[in-house]
C-alpha cells in the first residue's frame, strides 16, 4: 500500500515537472495515472491536489470547460479533508476559469468567495485581488479595477512581495492607459519595473 502511494507521489511530481516546462499534455497523462492510484487508495487529500493540478494544465491548454469541471470536482474533495487553503485557491481558480469563459457574474461570485476565504492566506489573497482587478479592467469598470489592484498592492507590500507589487502596479497602469491617462500609466509602469 505504501509502495503504491509512493508511486502516485512520484507520478504527481513527474507531472509537475512536465507542466513547469510547458508540456501540459504529458503532465496531464502523468497526473491521470497518479489520480488513479490515489482514487484506488481513497486518498482524498492527494486526489484534491491532483485534480487541481490537472485543472491548471487544462487551463494552460485553453480547455477552459475541462479546467472548470476539474476545479468543481476538486472543491468538495478539498473541503471533505478540511484543506481550507486549497479549497480557497480552488475558488480563485474557478473564478479565473469563468472569466476565461466570459461568464462575468459567475467569475465575480467565485472571486468574492475566494477573497473572503483567502484572508487567512495573504499571498493568495493578493493574487485574488489582482484577478478581480483584471476582470473589472477587461469589463471597462475602471474604478472597481483600480480599487482591487490597490488592495492587491497593499497586501503585496505588507508581505514584502516585490513581484506581487509589480503586477498590481502594472494592472493599475493598464487601467490608466485604457482611460487615456498616459502619463499616469507611464509613471506606474516605471514603478512596477523598479519594484522588480
Q: Where are the beta strands (DSSP E) in the chain?
A: none
Q: What is the pLDDT of residue 59?
A: 95
Using only C-alpha atoms, the chain has a radius of gyration, in whole angstroms, of 18
Q: What is the pLDDT of residue 104?
A: 94
Q: What is the pLDDT of residue 112?
A: 94
Contact indicator for 189, 160 with CB cutoff of 8 Å? no
Task: Round to whole Å and give the CA distance between 55 and 103.
Answer: 18
Angle at CA of residue 133, ends 129 and 139, nearest 5°: 150
188: closest CA among 111, 133, 140, 141? 133
State phi, psi for 62 to the nearest 5 degrees: 85, 10
Per-residue pLDDT of the chain (196 residues), as tens digits, is 567 888 999 999 999 999 999 999 999 999 999 999 999 999 999 999 999 999 999 999 999 999 999 999 999 999 999 999 999 999 999 999 999 999 999 999 999 999 999 999 998 999 999 999 999 999 999 999 999 999 999 999 999 999 999 999 889 988 988 888 777 766 766 766 666 6
110: closest CA among 92, 123, 84? 92
Task: Round to whole Å and give the CA distance between 175 and 75.
Answer: 32
Query: Helix, strand, or coil here: 196?
Result: coil
Q: What distance lies between CA 1 and its chain's CA centroid?
A: 33
Task: Round to whole Å and give the CA distance between 141 and 96.
Answer: 17
Q: What is the pLDDT of residue 179?
A: 86
pTM of the entire predicted model: 0.87
Element (H, E) at 130: helix 122-138
Amino acid at each position: 500500500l505504501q509502495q503504491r502511494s509512493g508511486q502516485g507521489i512520484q507520478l504527481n511530481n513527474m507531472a509537475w515537472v512536465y507542466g513547469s516546462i510547458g508540456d501540459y499534455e504529458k503532465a496531464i497523462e502523468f497526473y491521470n495515472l497518479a489520480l488513479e492510484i490515489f482514487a484506488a487508495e481513497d486518498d482524498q487529500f492527494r486526489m484534491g491536489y491532483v485534480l487541481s493540478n490537472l485543472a491548471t494544465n487544462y487551463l494552460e491548454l485553453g480547455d477552459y470547460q475541462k479546467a472548470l469541471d476539474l476545479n468543481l470536482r476538486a472543491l468538495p474533495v478539498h473541503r471533505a479533508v478540511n484543506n481550507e487553503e486549497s479549497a480557497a485557491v480552488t475558488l480563485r481558480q474557478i473564478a479565473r476559469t469563468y472569466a476565461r469563459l466570459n461568464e462575468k457574474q459567475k467569475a465575480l461570485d467565485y472571486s468574492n468567495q475566494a477573497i473572503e476565504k483567502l484572508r487567512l492566506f495573504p499571498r493568495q489573497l493578493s493574487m485574488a485581488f489582482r484577478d478581480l482587478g483584471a476582470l473589472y479592467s477587461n469589463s471597462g469598470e475602471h474604478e472597481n479595477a483600480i480599487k482591487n489592484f490597490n488592495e492587491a498592492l497593499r497586501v503585496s507590500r505588507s508581505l514584502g512581495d516585490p513581484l506581487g507589487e509589480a503586477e498590481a502596479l502594472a494592472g493599475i497602469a493598464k487601467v490608466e492607459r485604457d482611460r487615456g491617462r498616459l502619463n499616469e500609466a507611464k509613471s506606474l509602469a516605471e514603478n512596477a519595473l523598479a519594484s522588480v
